[in-house]
Amino acid sequence: MKRIFVALAFALACVPLLNVRAFAQQPVAGTERLAWNHDGINVTRFELAVDAGAPSVLVVTQTGTEYTAPLPAMTPGTHTLTLAACNVAGCSLPLAITVRVVVIPSPVTNLRVTP
């Protein structure tokens, strides 16, 4: 158990900063997803908190031990997402990732040469 905790602590320390594109950057809205692995044993839901706010229950898609869920709406800037596996007895220790939401302006339109 001690080895698992040390490995998990090391993995958390190595989590990179992500660039997550917001709606204005993506021609198709809502395509970014959060992904994680879990054995699925004794879990009835996954809860996600943004910036230490109140956790919300995720609607997940499961393929084997891989789970995905849409990213929540976030304002531009850096955010910390924490995810926990839960059941009627409570929730696991959360796993955290830091993301940076950036917004790129919409493209220029009607480009032309005029006299």
Q: Residue 21 corresponds to which tokens in the numbers above?
A: 């594109």
Residue 7 belongs to a domain:
no
Residue 109 belongs to a domain:
no
Residue 67 belongs to a domain:
yes
Residue 4 belongs to a domain:
no
pLDDT digits (tens, 9 = 90+) for 79-90: 899 999 999 999
Note down the domain range covering 54: 17-102
Q: Where are the alpha helices (DSSP H) in 1-115?
A: 2-13
| Percent of the chain residues past pLDDT 70, beyond the cut | 73
- pLDDT in the model for residue 105: 79
Residue 42 belongs to a domain:
yes
pTM above 0.85, yes or no: no
Report the relative pairing of strands 56-57 and 45-50 from DSSP bridges: antiparallel
**Reported confidence tier of residue 58, pLDDT bands at 50, 70, 90:** very high
Using CB atoms within 10 A of its CB, is residue 2 exposed (0-12), middle (13-18) or buried (19+)?
exposed
CATH at residue 22: 2.60.40.10
- pLDDT in the model for residue 31: 61
Query: At residue 28, does pLDDT exceed 70?
Result: no
Domain count, the chain: 1
- pLDDT in the model for residue 7: 37
Residue 114 belongs to a domain:
no
